[in-house]
């Protein structure tokens, strides 16, 4: 199946989300080689810059197919690539996709993930016509769980030993938000302005 929606650039006050390029490999390697960053993501720690190049090549092939929604997150002040955010496993039939993200450690704690994730939810509901966006979060990843709560996702439950990642069976929390919940949040934020 082919799709025609391209990955748009999304500009916010502090960050910009844009499609990734091969030229991002050096900055990606900087954070993707940090085991603290990759501890709770499903992809392997990058050991060489070539790992980052291969990772980027896969994403760029996905852009060409039109079925991959992965953005680089850029810190506007410095133009640095600080991480990535994505909608994976998009099913147009079921109108559902999975949110995922990772940031370089030095950028944690500044609200970047919350800002970026809010913008990506908006894109998913308005441009991909999604009805549901979910996220799977390792039960020890309290920081990410907090981000998911802050963007209005509800914890729907715990999936015991849901999948095997890097040799271990992971128990994860499933969080989700529906389009109608998102629209209520948008309305409430406009009313409180």
Ligand X SMILES: CC(C)(COP(=O)(O)OP(=O)(O)OC[C@H]1O[C@@H](n2cnc3c(N)ncnc32)[C@H](O)[C@@H]1OP(=O)(O)O)[C@@H](O)C(=O)NCCC(=O)NCCS
Q: What are the start-end ranges of the H helices in the chain?
A: 25-32, 35-38, 49-65, 112-127, 142-150, 179-191
Residue 169's alpha-carbon distances to 40, 45, 155, in angstroms, are 12, 18, 20
Please give the distance of CA 103 from its chain centroid, rounded to a whole number.
10
Q: Is 110 in the site for ligand X (CB under 6 A)?
A: yes
State the Cα–Cα distance between residues 104 and 85, nearest whole angstrom.
12
Q: Is 73 in the site for ligand X (CB under 6 A)?
A: no
**In degrees rounded to 5, what are phi and psi of residue 56?**
-65, -40
Q: x/- contact string, 117-156, with ligand X (CB under 6 A)?
A: --------------------x---xxxx-xx---------
Q: Is 37 in the site for ligand X (CB under 6 A)?
A: yes
Those residues with Cβ within 8 angstroms of residue 7's Cβ, 6 or more apart along the chain or in another chain = 19, 63, 68, 69, 70, 71
Please give the distance of CA 91 from its chain centroid, rounded to a whole number.
16
Using the minimum distance from each CB to ligand X, give the nearer residue, 5 or 139.
139
Q: Is 33 in the site for ligand X (CB under 6 A)?
A: no
> Which of 70, 87, 113, 176 forms a contact with ligand X (CB under 6 A)?
113
- In angstroms, what is the minimal distance from the CB of 66 to ligand X? 25
> Which of 43, 61, 109, 164 forms a contact with ligand X (CB under 6 A)?
109
Residues in 85-104 that interact with ligand X by CB under 6 A: 101-103
- In angstroms, what is the minimal distance from the CB of 181 to ligand X? 19
User: Applying CB under 6 A, which residues contact ligand X?
Assistant: 37, 40-41, 83, 101-103, 108-114, 137, 141-144, 146-147
């Amino acid at each position: 199946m082919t799709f025609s929606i391209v990955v748009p650039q999304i500009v916010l006050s502090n960050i910009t989300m844009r499609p990734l390029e091969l030229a991002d490999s050096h900055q990606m390697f900087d954070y993707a080689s940090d085991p603290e960053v990759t501890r709770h993501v499903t992809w392997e720690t990058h050991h060489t810059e070539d790992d980052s190049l291969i990772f980027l090549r896969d994403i760029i092939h996905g852009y060409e197919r039109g079925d991959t929604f992965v953005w680089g997150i850029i810190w506007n002040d410095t133009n640095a690539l600080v991480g990535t955010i994505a909608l994976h496993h998009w099913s147009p039939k079921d109108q559902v996709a999975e949110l995922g993200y990772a940031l370089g450690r030095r950028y944690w704690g500044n609200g970047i993930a919350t800002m970026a994730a809010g913008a990506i939810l908006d894109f998913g509901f308005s441009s991909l016509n999604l009805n549901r966006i979910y996220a799977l979060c390792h039960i020890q990843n309290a920081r990410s769980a907090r981000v998911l709560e802050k963007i209005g996702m509800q914890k729907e439950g715990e999936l015991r030993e849901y999948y095997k990642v890097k040799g271990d069976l992971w128990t994860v929390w499933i969080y989700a938000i529906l389009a109608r919940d998102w629209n209520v949040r948008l309305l409430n934020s406009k009313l409180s302005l």
